[in-house]
Amino acid sequence: MVIECKHVWDQISGYLDGTLDPAMLAQVQKHLEHCELCSAILDSTRNILILTADKRVFELPLGFSKRLHARLDQEMQGTLIEPSGDP
Amino acid sequence: MDETQNLGDEMHAITAILAGDSQVFHRLIRPYERTVYVMVVAILHNEADAEDVTQEAFLKAFRNLKNFRGEAKFGTWLISIALNEAKSRLRQRKGVTMESLDESPDERGHIAPALVRDWREIPSEYIERQEVRSILQEAVVNLPLIYREVFLLRTIDELSGAEVAKALGITVALVKVRLHRARLLLQKRLAPQLKHIDRKQRWFPWL
């Protein structure tokens, strides 16, 4: 069975995750062999997903970890010693 | 370290904390600091708020650790707490332009990707460029919330489909649908933008 481009687009995510069933996978692969447009769409999606998943895209603010652990320490001291009511 | 050993270590650490060795909590959460923060900042679009909410989420996890039953992985439990904290902060922001939390984009309509005729791969090194980082960040934080949260949990937090479903209280099938739509929306927005990135520009202009 020949499938159209828009049907291939519906399968992009499954194709990239390797979760398509064998019959669908065969149809998509066959389509990709002769469709440059869908091949380019697939390549760009794969490329874009690698880029957006990169750890460097969202970085922790400077000193984030230090401030977090300092706040946790305050909390932990509070759980051991009853708060005195001081700020 | 394999995952089973990791999970065993985490349960061991949690037992120690509950027995009174609070300091172990610092070590327990280290691997999750970045992923929790990234998810929160992508929901709140504001670094200062995100840092505060992330701290609150870790504090809440510490206070409620005795309620952790080990049915989910510790990381999944932690992320659920952070997600709830972030969403409740969004709800508190009154008078600020915000998307409705209940807004549900049409989940059945067809999403057509950007029709790029040829694609020259963008190497990961390009992320060193602030311009590229900003383009990528903007695309992720502008996804509709229901797609964004699934995308982040799967991609940044590396949860499985089943874990995402559990964290969000939706079915695994819906996780798949939303992830697919998130990916297509990212391609649709980013492919045309990234295609026009100046490839000749030096990464470090001061060199």
At A14-62, the pLDDT tens digits run 999 999 999 999 999 999 999 999 999 999 999 999 999 998 999 899 9
Pairwise CA distance, residues A12 & B141, whole Å = 22
Q: pTM higher than 0.80 for the full model?
A: yes
- Does position A82 have pLDDT exceeding 50, yes or no? no
pLDDT per position as a tens digit, B115-138: 998 899 999 999 999 999 999 999
Show the tokens assigned to B184: 């297509």
A70 in reach of chain B (CB within 8 A): no
Structure ipTM: 0.84
Distance from CA of A12 to the nearest CA of B (A): 7
For residue A69, which of B23, B68, B85 has the smallest C-alpha distance?
A: B23
Pairwise CA distance, residues B78 & B80, whole Å = 5
Task: Check: CB of residue B5 under 8 Å from CB of residue B12.
Answer: no
Show the tokens assigned to B28: 């327990």
DSSP category for residue B155 = H
pLDDT per position as a tens digit, B184-193: 999 999 999 9
pLDDT given for residue B69 in this prediction: 82
Task: Check: CB of residue B150 under 8 Å from CB of residue B140.
Answer: no
pLDDT per position as a tens digit, B62-93: 999 999 988 788 998 999 999 999 999 988 87
pLDDT given for residue B92 in this prediction: 86
**Reduced 3-state DSSP string for B54-82:** HHHHHHHHHHCHHHCCCCCCHHHHHHHHH
Three-class secondary structure of residue A81 per DSSP: coil
**B152-158, Cβ contacts within 8 angstroms, sequence gap of 24 or more:** B152/B38, B152/B39, B152/B42, B153/B39, B153/B79, B154/B179, B155/A49, B155/A52, B155/A53, B156/A53, B156/A58, B156/B35, B156/B38, B156/B39, B156/B42, B157/B35, B157/B39, B157/B75, B157/B79, B158/B35
Pairwise CA distance, residues B30 & A41, whole Å = 38
- In angstroms, the Cα distances linking B198 to B74, B129, B131, B190, B194 are 43, 11, 10, 14, 9
For B58, the closest of A56, A57, A72 (CB atoms) is A72
Per-residue pLDDT band at B60 (split at 50, 70, 90): very high
Distance from CA of B137 to the nearest CA of A (A): 7
Q: Is the dihedral of CA B15, B19, B22, B23 positive or negative?
A: negative
Mutation target for B interface from A45, A65, A67, A75: give the one with most B CBs within 10 A. A45
Give the CA count within 13 Å in the CB-facing half-sphere of B85: 24
pLDDT per position as a tens digit, B170-187: 999 999 999 999 999 999
Per-residue pLDDT band at B43 (split at 50, 70, 90): very high
Count of A-B CB contacts under 8 Å: 126
pLDDT given for residue A77 in this prediction: 85
Pairwise CA distance, residues B169 & B82, whole Å = 15
Pairwise CA distance, residues B185 & B152, whole Å = 14
Per-residue pLDDT band at B109 (split at 50, 70, 90): confident
B118 in reach of chain A (CB within 8 A): yes
